[in-house]
Chains A and B, each alone.
Chain A
Amino acid sequence: MAANVLEEGISKKELQPEASPPDIKAMAEQFLATFYQAFDSDRTTLGQLFRPESKLTFEGETYTGPEKILLKYISLPFKQVVHEISTYDSHLTIDGTLLIVVVGRLKTDDNPPLSFTETFNLKQFGDGLFVMNDIFRLSLHNS
Chain B
Amino acid sequence: MAAISSMDSSDPSSQSDIKIICLGDSAVGKSKLVERYLMDKFKPQRHSTYAVTLFAHKAEINDRTISVDLWDTAGQERFQSMHPSYYHGAHGCILVFDVTRKITYKNLAHWYSELRESRPKIPCILLANKIDVDMKVTKTSFKFASKHKLPFYFVSARDGTNVVKAFRDITRAALAYKETSQDLVDQILEELREMQNEGMSDEESDSHTTPDSNHDLEKVT
Pairwise interchain contact A143-B48, C-beta atoms closer than 8 A: no
Inter-chain residue pair count (beta carbon < 8 A): 62
Pairwise interchain contact B74-A143, C-beta atoms closer than 8 A: no
Picked from A110, A115, A142, the residue with its CB within 8 Å of the CB of B48 is A115
Pairwise interchain contact A78-B26, C-beta atoms closer than 8 A: yes
Chain B residues contacting A109 (CB-CB under 8 Å) are 26-27, 75
Pairwise interchain contact A76-B79, C-beta atoms closer than 8 A: yes
Q: Whole-angstrom distance from the CB of A95 to the nearest CB of chain B?
A: 30
Pairwise interchain contact B8-A141, C-beta atoms closer than 8 A: yes
Pairwise interchain contact A140-B49, C-beta atoms closer than 8 A: yes
Chain A residues contacting B51 (CB-CB under 8 Å) are 114, 138, 140
Q: Whole-angstrom distance from the CB of B24 to the nearest CB of chain A?
A: 12
Q: Whole-angstrom distance from the CB of B35 to the nearest CB of chain A?
A: 11
Pairwise interchain contact B78-A112, C-beta atoms closer than 8 A: no
Q: Is A52 an interface residue (CB 8 A)?
A: no
Q: Whole-angstrom distance from the CB of B55 to the nearest CB of chain A?
A: 13
Chain B residues contacting A111 (CB-CB under 8 Å) are 74-75, 78
Chain A residues contacting B53 (CB-CB under 8 Å) are 112
Q: Is B1 an interface residue (CB 8 A)?
A: yes
Chain B residues contacting A143 (CB-CB under 8 Å) are 1-2, 5, 85
CA distance A113 to B85 in the complex (A): 20
Pairwise interchain contact A142-B85, C-beta atoms closer than 8 A: yes
CA distance A134 to B125 in the complex (A): 40
Contact-residue bracket for chain A = 20 to 34
Please classify the interface of chain A as helix (H, G, I), strand (E, B), loop, or mixed, using the class held by over half of its residues. loop
A78 — nearest CB in chain B belongs to which residue? Answer: B78
CA distance A67 to B191 in the complex (A): 51
CA distance A111 to B73 in the complex (A): 9
Q: Whole-angstrom distance from the CB of A53 to the nearest CB of chain B?
A: 25
Q: Whole-angstrom distance from the CB of B45 to the nearest CB of chain A?
A: 11
Q: Is A77 an interface residue (CB 8 A)?
A: yes
Considering the complex, which residues of chain A in the window 86-143 have a beta carbon less than 8 Å from any beta carbon of chain B? 108-115, 138-143
Picked from B1, B46, B84, B86, the residue with its CB within 8 Å of the CB of A112 is B46
Chain A residues contacting B25 (CB-CB under 8 Å) are 77
Pairwise interchain contact A115-B74, C-beta atoms closer than 8 A: no
Q: Is B181 an interface residue (CB 8 A)?
A: no
Question: Could you list 5 A-B pairs, sorted by A, with CB under 8 Å?
Answer: A111-B78, A114-B51, A115-B49, A139-B49, A140-B50
Shortest Cβ-Cβ A-B pairs, 7 listed: A111-B75, A59-B80, A142-B83, A142-B85, A77-B26, A141-B49, A143-B5
Measured CB to CB, the residues of B under 8 A from A are: 1-2, 5, 8, 25-27, 31, 46, 48-51, 53, 74-80, 83-86
Known contacts A141-B8, A141-B50; can you find 11 more A-B pairs with CB under 8 A? A58-B79, A59-B80, A76-B79, A77-B78, A112-B75, A114-B74, A138-B79, A140-B50, A142-B50, A142-B83, A142-B86
